[in-house]
Structure 1
Amino acid sequence: MTDAVQDWKHWHEQRTETVSAPYGPLALTGTHWLADYPEGHLPGIPGHWVDTPDAVLLTAAPDEGLTVDGQPLTGKVHLGADSGPVTDARVALGGRRLVVFRREGLWAVRDFDPDAAARRVFRGIDATAYDDRWAVPGRFTPYDEDRTVTVGNADGKERGLGLGGELSFRLGGVEHTLQVSVEADGSLWAVFADASSGLSSYRFRFLRPAAPEADGRTTVDFNRALLPPCAFADHFICPFPPPGNTLLSEIAAGERNLRDS
């Protein structure tokens, strides 16, 4: 077994462990935008939740079972956005973690429950075995300035998607280009679809190439194409591919779908 195959197997095993973890994406049972609940009562979640310009104001009675920073909440607390892992969320309800976040100026609460039905029925990720034909050289060309395009999202709304440049590569003698975002650590992120999307693969997938070298060189490895979070739970907000990111070729590599059984 080559090092590349062994590395891929390890990666696949880690991905399976991550998504099926007690507070992984399969545990997400709800995303509640506070603007949709002006009365302050969220479905299935006790307490009174009110959004303010700078924080979320949470009020709870002693018998409602909410804890903040591990202590029972009685009265009021101002909550900022949780920036760490789900396990570090300040608010809990028994084994559940209630993650406060903000996007496009709107506050929301995500409900992660280790006892979620999706975790109980999870049977793994259907992924194609490693094939070095799908790992090819690529070159990143940054835009003169970052761009934002409006794309549909899995929740039916349109939002801006920031793009930092183009990633070009050749597969099977055919030149391809993807518009990509640049992450804080310099790595790249692409949302793409291909000829297999919605057929033998999920309707779109993610690709995360390593940070390019100074001359723009990086590796485009579709063996590590990822299912987006919304493949595991309907309550994630995943952007659809931007214009030009639907490849005409079939990318028969990487994560394809959730296993049925």
Structure 2
Amino acid sequence: MKKQQQTPYKSVLSFLLIIVSLFAFKKTEEDSAYEKEIKAWHQQRIDNLKKENGWLNLAGLFWLEEGKNSFGSNSDNKIVFPKDKSKPFLGDFILSKNEVYIETKADAEIFNDEQTVGKLKIFPSEKNITLKHQSLRWFVIKRGDRYAIRLRDLESPFLKEFHGIDTFPIDEKWKIKATFEPTIGKKIPIIDITGQTSQQDSPGTLHFTIAGKNYTLDALLEGEHLFILFGDKTNKVETYGSGRFLTAEKPDSEGVTYLDFNKAYNPPCAFTPYATCPLPPKQNQLSIEIKAGEKNYGHH
């Protein structure tokens, strides 16, 4: 039987189908690479939450009063550590003229690195001091003109009960080009959940467009990156009620950077009642749903 010859039309059609298939394959590869980047970022985020200095093991936040603040697991102390996690009476934290000292009981078994602690100035200090007792770790934080002991428990139930964070589907449309307008010398008030307000430097404002509408976000600095506190219309519905965080690269020579909302993440307060999270300023409340990044966690 004579083999039917392919018509020129069929040849062109086959060629076009091959080109389309190759393009689709390439596009799939590109999308796959981006998804892998976001998933790797999110996995690193979860790993960081679980670390010894992560947010999941916070076990207490205790504001210090001027003078002696006794501490231990016994309820007679001013600062009561979790039951079955420490000895009943460990000693005193002493707040005096903006300095914090610790004075321990003889049998307290409290360590700074590998050295037992008797009496020691723990704040301020050249090196951040974290003290240890059994599974507990603690250090001093300052918020405004107040001082507190932040306590960690390496056996925290928050850590044991953690099973990951839900996210919106990864979509590259939420990686948005932004232009950076410098605001040299500008400070913006940032309120935290304790009601403390601090004036923080804002190096500039980010301008960007979503679905044809223009938006702006005031940025802060965090090391070598821009740090953005923002709210949107998904808050209290699909995402954490008070807003989320986002970091971005500093702008290039033309003032361009990218806001990748697939990397929007929950503040520490979404995971623990013992954090003191900053809240987005009023001008950073976006009148749009940002359906990207981390969703709400647990019951918060």
TM beyond 0.5: yes
- Aligned match for 1:239, one of 268, 278, 294: 278
Asked if the contact 2:99–2:123 (Cα under 8 Å) also holds between the matched residues in 1, the reply is yes
Asked if the contact 1:99–1:109 (Cα under 8 Å) also holds between the matched residues in 2, the reply is yes
| Residues 1-261 of structure 1: pairs in structure 2 closer than 5 A | 1=29, 2-35=32-65, 38-41=67-70, 42-44=79-81, 46-53=90-97, 55-74=99-118, 76-81=119-124, 89-151=129-191, 153-155=192-194, 157-162=195-200, 163-185=202-224, 187-203=225-241, 204-258=243-297
Cα distance in 2, alignment partners of residues 209 and 161 from structure 1: 21
Q: How many residues align?
A: 252
3-state DSSP of counterpart to 1:144 = coil
Deviations 1:70-95 (A, max 9, x none): 22223x111135788xxx74311112
Judging by fraction of residues, say which structure has more strand: 1
Percent identity between matched residues is 27
**46-55 or 171-180, larger mean C-alpha shift:** 46-55
Closer/same/farther in 2, CA of residues 113 and 101 from structure 1, 3 Å limit: same
Q: Unaligned stretches of 5+ in structure 1?
A: none
Cα distance in 1, alignment partners of residues 125 and 53 from structure 2: 14
**242-251 or 38-47, larger mean C-alpha shift:** 38-47
Report the residue type matching 2:120 in the other structure.
V
Cα distance in 1, alignment partners of residues 184 and 50 from structure 2: 40
Cα distance in 2, alignment partners of residues 34 and 60 from structure 1: 16
Asked if the contact 2:179–2:207 (Cα under 8 Å) also holds between the matched residues in 1, the reply is yes
TM-score (norm 1): 0.88
Asked if the contact 1:124–1:259 (Cα under 8 Å) also holds between the matched residues in 2, the reply is no
Cα distance in 2, alignment partners of residues 148 and 258 from structure 1: 28
Cα distance in 2, alignment partners of residues 129 and 137 from structure 1: 20
Deviations 1:87-115 (A, max 9, x none): x7431111221122223243221101111
Query: In the TM superposition, what is the alpha-carbon distance from 1:252 to its structure 2 partner?
Result: 0.5
Asked if the contact 2:122–2:129 (Cα under 8 Å) also holds between the matched residues in 1, the reply is no
Asked if the contact 2:185–2:203 (Cα under 8 Å) also holds between the matched residues in 1, the reply is yes
Deviations 1:182-230 (A, max 9, x none): 2232x11111110100101111100111111133211011000010011
Q: Unaligned stretches of 5+ in structure 2?
A: 1-28, 71-78
Report the residue type matching 2:93 in the other structure.
W
Closer/same/farther in 2, CA of residues 90 and 4 from structure 1, 3 Å limit: same
Deviations 1:149-186 (A, max 9, x none): 153x223x13125133211111111111011112232x
Cα distance in 1, alignment partners of residues 125 and 252 from structure 2: 32
- Larger relative contact order, structure 1 or 2 (CA cutoff 8 Å, min sep 6): 1
In our comparison, the structure showing a higher alpha carbon Rg is 2
TM-score (norm 2): 0.78
